[in-house]
Amino acid sequence: MRYLLVEDNEQLAEAVVNRLELDGHAIDHAASLAAAQDCLNATEYDLILLDVMLPDGDGRAFLADNRVHLETPVIVLTARSQVSDRVGALDQGADDYITKPFDFSELEARCRAVLRRRGGAAKNEIALGDVIFDPTAGTIRSGTDTVELRNRELRLLEVFARHPGQILSKSQLMDRLFSYDADVTENAIEVYVGRLRKKVGQMGVRIETVRGLGYRMEAS
């Protein structure tokens, strides 16, 4: 999944990026609203983590302005603990909020919950035919058989699972898996697809190569 973090505190931003990257997410960091707008103009995100007080303006006003055309879920990061501040953020379009300082495990849980609600799911598990994919546990299982996935394999399967039956090009997969500053090529996608294909193939999930177009996942 690809996240945008809008936070001007460099130390906090680095900590958040490092923690979420450990889970295999791609994180772009913007230290100002202007930089955040540039990122939004350049690509789509699965989730935005938005600070309130930024050098060039108020994150809540930025959110309200962008909500006209922006459907991406947003979690507001705020040091303000008053109920009125939290209510204001929600009324201006935030899907959730978390008060600083926060525990990283809570942030991760809130990210999962917001994405789950946006996907219309009541729990984290995703059904792929007769196979159950659990992004939180990092596993796929069928009956009593369970296969564990590494972080990048996990996020790649999550992308396929959220686009069932669709052909996804290498560039689309690159966009979902890697941030702007990642030094990778499309060959990396071939490697990760190959690894994932071997694991999910044991469970009856097939990742098909569509020549000249990309890849498509199908579950039996």
Choosing from 87, 118, 149, the residue where a domain stops is: 118
**Which CATH number fits the domain that encloses residue 183?**
1.10.10.10
CA distance 180 to 99: 28
* Structural domain total, the chain: 2
CA distance 171 to 179: 12
Distant-in-sequence, close-in-space partners of 137: CB < 8 Å, separation ≥ 6: none
Instruction: Say what the pLDDT of residue 120 is.
Output: 59
In this structure, the answer to whether residues 150 and 212 fall within a common structural domain is yes
In this structure, the answer to whether residues 99 and 36 fall within a common structural domain is yes
Low-confidence ranges of the chain (pLDDT < 50): none
Torsion-angle region of 111 (φ positive above 0: left; ψ -120 to 50: alpha; else: beta): alpha
Instruction: Say what the pLDDT of residue 154 is.
Output: 92
**Which CATH number fits the domain that encloses residue 108?**
3.40.50.2300
Choosing from 59, 90, 118, the residue where a domain stops is: 118
In this structure, the answer to whether residues 12 and 109 fall within a common structural domain is yes
Instruction: Say what the pLDDT of residue 119 is.
Output: 63
Predicted confidence (pLDDT) per residue in 140-166, tens digit: 998 888 999 998 999 999 999 888 889
CA-based torsion, 49, 171, 178, 115: positive or negative: positive
**Could you list the residue range(s) of the whole structural domain that residue 140 is in?**
126-219
Instruction: Say what the pLDDT of residue 220 is.
Output: 66
Instruction: Say what the pLDDT of residue 92 is.
Output: 84
Q: What 8-state DSSP symbol labels residue 8?
A: S
In this structure, the answer to whether residues 14 and 98 fall within a common structural domain is yes
